[in-house]
Amino acid sequence: MIGFGHIAEPDFYTHFPAMLPRSSRPRAAWGTGVYPSKQYFDIKMRCLRQCRHRRRWYLKGADNTPYEKIGDEVRSLADEVPFDIPDSWEWVRLGELFQHNTGKALNAANRTGQLKQYITTSNLYWDRFELNNLKEMHFSESEVEKCTVIKGDLLVCEGGDIGRAAIWPFDYPMCIQNHIHRLRAYVPICTRFFYYLFDLYKHAGWIGGKGIGIQGLSSNAIHSLLFPLPPLAEQYRIVDAIVTLQPYTDAYADVESTLDILNTAFPERLKKSILQEAVQGKLVPQDPSDEPAEALLERIRVEKQRLIKEGKIKKDKHESVIFRRDNSHYEKLDSVERCIDDELPFEIPGSWAWAYFGNISFVTKLAGFEYTKYIAPALTNHGIPLFKGKNIQNGKLIEHFEGFIPETVSNELWRSQLSKRCLLTPYVGSIGNVAVFPGTYKAHLGSNVGKIEPYSDNGVLIEYILYFLRSAAGYEQLTKHKKATAQESISIEAIRNVLMPIPPLNEQERIVSAIDTALNIVQKL
């Protein structure tokens, strides 16, 4: 046997007399203080008839938990209520407080009735309306009555952003399309309080819909929503308090949003700062005992000449050498010297040197005619995988291949083979993206991707080149000659002409180690 401590507070019954036992309902005629007008009286009677039909009661048991009584059935609401409420409050279904219905469904074939403007969920935002682009459709007389909102009505989205709500603030009426619930209180209550409840329920995840595909808040679902009901005077006090605190909560939300942006952007900015400091010689100290970069570049030039003699690479049409003299930098091109200080993006330490990619590495691609003549006819489902531009994403290799060629074909096109550690970068599409090919298996260049392969294994570290290209200076160098076509592109020659600062080999190793350590720390932020 369930015992009930009390049924409800007097203030609750004052505003919802239909929920009182018949003998306890107030008797008054319209025009009195209880029913000040016939309209008010009619609303009360509508509520009375509705509640008589449902025979729904909200009770509090002796165990101090809420119960719901429908007819002779009594069931606990303890698992349904989302939070505890004061003793002077009650839990009540939304449908007991508000008459609710949705608007008219769009039907182009129905042209009976008056042509009227209407709003949809695209016009309804949290606590406001956007009415710049209203559409029109025909409404019959009965549809106008059912689908018209007036000032003070609470409107709630049935679909889309489920539960999004606003109070209609205008003195003129407006029609609504379906997917919007119109909630109109049976008796005077603080509608603004219930707007805030929708805001709370929505953002707390307590409002959801059911349906196939797009979830929606059906009429039955919105009727069954269990809302707390404070005494009327307290509803207004709560709203006043929220309005007073709103500027402070908005300011906090703005600060929190800014902080979230900073937390997201800071690690990336820090990474770029670390890389930029590194390639300018500011991340690690210089060691006077290190072999200068000029000596390193001279060994690379010797190795390059050896590869040319062996026929593994072609001789440059215009040989270029950059050197330092009298604290200035010069380029010697075809026996002609010129000062290039104005072309250099920043100062570098005295032990460093400048060099073009083409001077320190083999930069190539698969030629168009090679693809047409050799690759396309030989495509198969197994063999040597082809790296395309889309296999390089966000600095990583995506080893999901769409094409393979026989090893014999790959050997014939040996310049575009991938058999040793190198860098791969697209020259069509995501310009500036770069990743390391590990050299642990055989592969081949496909379309839209080039390789950067250092001439000497004891020359410029691949990791250093990678970090340079990821720096702001490297990215600018790599992308400054890109072509604005349907897809951005750069030429292989433009990649060869990327100008890069070269530290001594030992310092390269210290820079790479310092960057690795710093980026691991940043990753944990």
Confidence band (pLDDT; 50, 70, 90) for 478?
A: confident
**Signed CA dihedral, 277, 394, 424, 450: sign only:** negative
Q: In sequence order, which residues have a C-beta less than 8 Å from that of residue 26 and are 6 or more positions away?
A: 17, 34
Residue 268 lies in a domain: no
Relative to beta strand 66-70, strand 73-76 is antiparallel
C-beta separation of 462 from 424 below 8 A:
no
Q: Which residue has the higher pLDDT, 130 or 33?
A: 130
Per-residue pLDDT at 470 exceeds 50: yes
pTM of the model: 0.56
User: Are 208 and 305 within one domain?
Assistant: no
In this predicted structure, what is the pLDDT of residue 295?
94
Q: In what order do the strands lie in the sheet with 417-418?
A: 404-405, 384-387, 443-445, 417-418
Q: Of the candidates 181, 203, 230, which is a domain's last residue?
A: 230
**Percentage of the residues of the chain whose pLDDT score is greater than 90:** 54
Q: Do 311 and 408 share a domain, yes or no? A: yes
pLDDT band at 508 (very low <50, low <70, confident <90, very high): very high
Q: Which of 456, 473, 258 is nearest to 344 (CA)?
A: 473
Residue 310 to residue 303: CA distance in whole angstroms: 11
Establish if 489 belongs to a structural domain.
yes
What is the CATH classification number for the domain harbouring 203?
3.90.220.20
In the 3-class helix/strand/coil scheme, how is 232-293 assigned residue by residue? HHHHHHHHHHHHHHHHHHHHHHHHHHHHHHHHHHHHHHHHHHHHHHHHCCCCCCCCCCCCCH
214 has a pLDDT exceeding 70: no
260 within domain boundaries: no
Q: How far apart are CA 467 and CA 461, in angstroms?
A: 10
Task: Write out the two tokens for 156.
Answer: 């709630």
461 in a structural domain? yes
Residue 295 has phi, psi (to 5 degrees) of -65, -40
Residue that is last in its domain, among 230, 250, 273 = 230
pLDDT of 281 above 80: yes
Q: Are residues 35 and 128 in the same domain?
A: no
How many angstroms separate the Cα of 194 from the Cα of each of 206, 222, 231?
14, 13, 13
Distance CA 156, CA 160 (A): 11
The verdict on 473 and 333 lying in the same domain is yes
pLDDT confidence bin for 525, thresholds 50/70/90: low
| Model pLDDT, residue 435 | 94
> Over 60: is that where the pLDDT of 261 sits?
yes
Among the listed ranges 36-40, 111-115, 349-353, 509-513, which one has the minimum average pLDDT value?
36-40
Q: How confident is the model at residue 32 (pLDDT cuts 50, 70, 90)?
A: very low
Of residues 66, 106, 105, the one with CA closest to residue 89? 66
- For 319-345, write each residue's pLDDT tens digit: 889 999 988 999 998 889 999 999 999
Question: Averaging pLDDT over each range in 62-71, 228-237, 254-263, which range is the top one?
Answer: 228-237
Does residue 490 or residue 58 have the better pLDDT? 490
| Chain mean pLDDT for the chain | 84
Domain count, the chain: 3
209 and 304 inside one domain: no
User: Coil, strand, or helix at residue 17?
Assistant: helix
Cα separations in angstroms, 427 against 190, 432, 474, 479: 64, 8, 15, 10
- The whole-number pLDDT of residue 441 equals 95
Say what the pLDDT of residue 349 is: 95
**What average pLDDT does this structure show over 133-158?**
92
Q: How far apart are CA 102 and CA 118, in angstroms?
A: 12
Gap between the Cα atoms of 459 and 301, Å rounded: 10
pLDDT classification of 113: cutoffs 50, 70, 90 = confident
Q: Could you tell me if 328 and 447 lie in one domain?
A: yes
> What is the predicted pLDDT for the residue at 209?
52
Show the tokens assigned to 88. 């002077």
**What whole-number distance in Å separates Cα of residue 251 and Cα of residue 249?**
5
Position 444 scores a pLDDT of 96
The pLDDT > 70 percentage for the chain reads: 85
**Does residue 329 fall inside a structural domain?**
yes
Going by pLDDT thresholds of 50, 70 and 90, the confidence category of residue 481 is confident
Q: How many whole angstroms separate alpha carbon 502 and alpha carbon 479?
A: 20
Q: Which residues contact 86 (CB under 8 A, 6 or more apart)?
A: 230
Report the amino acid identity of residue 44: K
| Window from 27-41, 101-115, 374-388, 474-488 with minimum mean pLDDT | 27-41
Residue 456 lies in a domain: yes
Closest CA to 502 of 454, 451, 431, 439: 454
Give the integer Cα–Cα distance in Å for 323 and 330: 5
Asked if 154 and 31 sit in the same domain, the reply is no
d(C-alpha 107, C-alpha 118), whole Å: 13
Is the same domain home to 347 and 312? Answer: yes
SS3 content of the chain, % helix, strand, coil (to 5): 40, 25, 40
Range of the domain at 39: 4-80
Identify whether residues 46 and 117 lie together within a single domain: no
Q: How many CA atoms lie within 13 A of 408 on its CB side?
A: 2
Q: Helix 232-279 vs helix 462-470: angle between axes, to the nearest 10 degrees? A: 130
In a domain, 519, yes or no: yes
Same domain, 381 and 514: yes
Separation between Cα atoms, residue 40 and residue 60, nearest integer Å: 29
Q: Which of 230, 249, 279 is the last residue of a domain?
A: 230
Query: Is a pLDDT exceeding 50 seen at residue 35?
Result: no
Is 320 found in the same domain as 200?
A: no
Q: Is 449 domain-assigned?
A: yes
Of residues 445 and 259, the one with the higher pLDDT is 445
Q: Is the distance from CB of 193 to CB of 242 less than 8 angstroms? A: no
Give CA 523 to chain center in angstroms: 20
Phi-psi region of 76 (alpha: psi -120 to 50; beta: other; left: phi over 0): beta
Q: What does the pLDDT look like over 64-92, one tens digit per residue?
A: 788 888 877 888 888 888 899 998 898 99
Whether residues 302 and 398 share a domain: the answer is: yes
